[in-house]
Amino acid sequence: MKTIVSMRDIHKSYLGQQIETHALRGISLEVKQGEFVAITGPSGCGKSTLLTIMGLLDSATEGSYEIAGIDTRGLKVDQRTTVRNQHIGYVFQSFNLIDSLTVFENVALPLEHRGERKEVVKAAVIEALEKVGMGHRMQYQPNQISGGQQQRVAIARALVGKPDLILVDEPTGNLDTKNGDAVMQLLLELNKQGATIVMVTHDSRYSGLAHRQIQLLDGKVVAEQQVKSQTDKEVA
């Protein structure tokens, strides 16, 4: 299977007030097409940092990172943006919808930035929103829908451009159990339809649903667990 993510010896450190903090210490991993990978670990272990590097929202201090065969080292800001637009969909913990835009416009953003024609955008957005069950709320403002619905819209935005990789950061962190379960079910369905997903979570109920779990501690991979069959898994 095609390798979507290939990370080699990734380091990330922040220089604060004369104190250097090492968030990631030599992480290497690969994600194959169609995989559902869960990254887990305690708070502060570096899982969100790893996801932002994977999503090209940040860059590693050391190490190499290839996404869909593209070496991201030395890419300029706009080149990274292009790669992100064409290959990555990102779902944030706090949804990050723009409240001045409608649900439709929020979801359309990646395609508009790609310069797609209006009719192509419209068809793709409707398809994505239908897929996440939000087709009936297209003209709503983000603040007019619930948290669970906002997260669904955020997922629709992430998958609308048909990216090679969907990165999901604590998708249930800001949701109640019912909404959290529904969002996880949605992600599982998307994965079944072929989406490659990397999800950061500290909730073991949800991490157990992934094909593979990667556990981090103090910026290092301390355990990696392969789940044999995911065919009949459902959110309890």
- For the bound state, the minimum distance from the C-beta of residue 225 to another protein, rounded and expressed in Å, comes to 27
- For the bound state, the minimum distance from the C-beta of residue 33 to another protein, rounded and expressed in Å, comes to 21
Radius of gyration of the chain (CA): 17
- Cβ nearer to another protein, comparing 76 with 178: 76
- Give the footprint of another protein on this chain (CB under 8 A): 48-49, 52, 55, 57-58, 77-78, 81-82, 84-86, 90, 92-100, 109-110, 113-114, 142-143, 157, 161
Query: Whats the size of the chain, residue-wise?
Result: 236
197-200 β-sheet, strand order: 88-91, 165-169, 197-200, 36-40, 212-217, 220-226
- Cβ nearer to another protein, comparing 157 with 211: 157
20-32 β-sheet, strand order: 20-32, 3-15, 62-67, 70-71
- Cβ nearer to another protein, comparing 16 with 231: 16
- For the bound state, the minimum distance from the C-beta of residue 174 to another protein, rounded and expressed in Å, comes to 9
CA–CA distance, 106 with 157 (Å, rounded to integer): 7
- For the bound state, the minimum distance from the C-beta of residue 42 to another protein, rounded and expressed in Å, comes to 19
Sign of CA dihedral 81, 141, 96, 235: negative
- Cβ nearer to another protein, comparing 139 with 144: 144
